[in-house]
Structure 1
Amino acid sequence: MARKSKYEPQKLSTVLWKPALYIRLSREDGDSEESNSIISQRELLTEFADTQTDMTASRLYVDDGYTGTDFDRPDFRRMMHDLRAGIVNCVIVKDLSRLGRNYVKVGEYLEHTFPLLNVRFIALSERIDSVADPRSADSLIVPFRNILNDEYAHDISNKVRASLDLKRRQGKFIGSFASYGYRKDPNDHSRLLIDEPAAAVVRDIFNWFLAGTNVLGIAKKLNAKGIPNPSAYKRQQGMNYRHPASDKLDDLWPDSSVRRILRNPLYTGTMVQGKNRMKSYKLHVSEAVPEEDWITVEQTHEAIISSELFAKAQSLFARDTRTAPTQPQVYLFSGFLRCADCGKAMNRKTISQPYRNYYYYICSTFKKQHSGACTKHTIRSDRLEQAVLETLRHQIALAVEMDELIAEINRSGTRNRSVKPLLDERAQLETERERIEQMKLSLYPDWKAGDISREEYHRLKEQFEQQQAKLDARLASLQARIDEVQSGVGETNSFVSQFVKYRNLPSLTREVVVELIDMIYVHEGGKITIKFKFSDAYAVAQEYIRKHGQTA
Structure 2
Amino acid sequence: MKVKGNAGEHLTTNAPYGYMKDPDNSKHWIPDREAADVVYEIGLYVMDGFGPSQIARKLRERKILTPAAYYESKGIPCNVKKQGDPYGWDNTTIAGIMDRWREYLGHTVNFKTTKKSYKSKKKIKNPESEWVIFENTHEPIWTEAIAEAVKQARQSRRRPTKMGEMGMFSGMMYCADCGSILYQCRATGFRKDQEYYICSGYRKGKQVCGTPHSIRTVILEKLILQNLREIVSFARSHENRFVQMVMDMDVKERNKGLAKKRKLLSEGEKRITELDIIFKRLYEDNISGKLTDERFHKLSTDYEAEQTGLQTRAAILREEIEEVEGKSANVDRFLSVVRQYTDIPELTPRILHEFVEKIVIHAATDPHSKINRRQEVDIYYKGIGILEMFKVFDSRQK
Q: Which category describes the TM-score, using the shorter chain as reference length?
A: 0.5 to 0.7
Does the 8 Å CA contact 2:379/2:385 hold for their aligned counterparts?
no
Q: Give the equivalent residue in structure 2 for 1:185.
A: 22
Q: Report the CA distance between 1:230 and its aligned residue.
A: 1.2
Give the secondary structure class of the aligned counterpart of 1:330.
coil
Matches for 1:123-272 after TM superposition, within 5 Å: 164-244=1-81, 246-247=82-83, 251-264=87-100, 265-272=102-109
TM-score, length of structure 1 as denominator length: 0.47
Matches for 1:90-489 after TM superposition, within 5 Å: 164-244=1-81, 246-247=82-83, 251-264=87-100, 265-319=102-156, 321-324=158-161, 327=164, 329-352=165-188, 358-369=194-205, 374-400=210-236, 402-405=238-241
Q: Report the CA distance between 1:360 and its aligned residue.
A: 2.7
Q: Give the equivalent residue in structure 1 for 2:312.
A: none
Does the 8 Å CA contact 1:402/1:496 hold for their aligned counterparts?
no
Relative contact order, CA 8 A, sep 6+: which one is greater?
A: 2
Does the 8 Å CA contact 1:338/1:519 hold for their aligned counterparts?
yes
Q: State the distance in 1 between where 2:182 and 2:132 align.
A: 40
Amino acid at match of 1:262: M
Q: State the distance in 2 between where 1:180 and 1:313 align.
A: 16
Cα distance per residue 1:485-531 (max 9 Å; x no partner)? xx99x943234444454454222121232232221314223513223
Q: State the distance in 2 between where 1:519 and 1:204 align.
A: 26
Q: Give the equivalent residue in structure 2 for 1:94.
A: none
Q: State the distance in 2 between where 1:184 and 1:402 align.
A: 46
Q: Report the CA distance between 1:208 and its aligned residue.
A: 0.7
Does the 8 Å CA contact 2:235/2:242 hold for their aligned counterparts?
no
Does the 8 Å CA contact 1:349/1:359 hold for their aligned counterparts?
yes
Q: State the distance in 2 between where 1:354 and 1:187 align.
A: 57
Amino acid at match of 1:275: K
Q: Give the equivalent residue in structure 2 for 1:47.
A: none
1:523 and 2:359 correspond:
no
Does the 8 Å CA contact 2:30/2:138 hold for their aligned counterparts?
yes
Which structure would you say has the larger Rg?
Answer: 1
TM-score, length of structure 2 as denominator length: 0.63
Q: Report the CA distance between 1:317 and its aligned residue.
A: 2.6
Cα distance per residue 1:122-146 (max 9 Å; x no partner)? xxxxxxxxxxxxxxxxxxxxxxxxx
Cα distance per residue 1:427-470 (max 9 Å; x no partner)? xxxxxxxxxxxxxxxxxxxxxxxxxxxxxxxxxxxxxxxxxxxx
Consecutive unaligned residues of structure 1, counting only runs of 5 or more, are 1-163, 409-483, 540-552
Amino acid at match of 1:513: L
Tell me the C-alpha RMSD between the 2 structures.
Answer: 3.7
Q: Give the equivalent residue in structure 1 for 2:321.
A: none
Consecutive unaligned residues of structure 2, counting only runs of 5 or more, are 245-325, 368-373, 388-398
Does the 8 Å CA contact 1:491/1:537 hold for their aligned counterparts?
no
Does the 8 Å CA contact 1:492/1:538 hold for their aligned counterparts?
no
Q: Report the CA distance between 1:169 and its aligned residue.
A: 4.0
Q: Quick one: percent identity of the two aligned structures?
A: 25
| Alignment coverage as a number of residue pairs | 298
Cα distance per residue 1:200-232 (max 9 Å; x no partner)? 000000011011111110011111111122122
Give the secondary structure class of the aligned counterpart of 2:195.
strand
Does the 8 Å CA contact 1:183/1:194 hold for their aligned counterparts?
yes
Q: State the distance in 2 between where 1:285 and 1:350 align.
A: 45
Q: Report the CA distance between 1:388 and its aligned residue.
A: 2.1
Q: State the distance in 2 between where 1:190 and 1:383 align.
A: 52
Q: Give the equivalent residue in structure 2 for 1:48.
A: none
Q: State the distance in 2 between where 1:277 and 1:536 align.
A: 39
**CA 1:498 to 1:220, structure 2 compared with 1: closer, same or farther past 3 Å?**
same
Does the 8 Å CA contact 2:178/2:208 hold for their aligned counterparts?
no
Q: Report the CA distance between 1:534 and its aligned residue.
A: 4.3
Q: State the distance in 1 between where 2:160 and 2:178 align.
A: 22
Q: Give the equivalent residue in structure 2 for 1:12.
A: none
Does the 8 Å CA contact 2:180/2:201 hold for their aligned counterparts?
yes
Q: State the distance in 2 between where 1:316 and 1:516 align.
A: 15
Q: Give the equivalent residue in structure 2 for 1:41.
A: none
Give the secondary structure class of the aligned counterpart of 2:16.
coil
Q: Report the CA distance between 1:238 and its aligned residue.
A: 1.4
Amino acid at match of 2:333: S
Q: Give the equivalent residue in structure 2 for 1:494.
A: 333
1:508 and 2:347 correspond:
yes
Q: State the distance in 1 between where 2:383 and 2:237 align.
A: 16
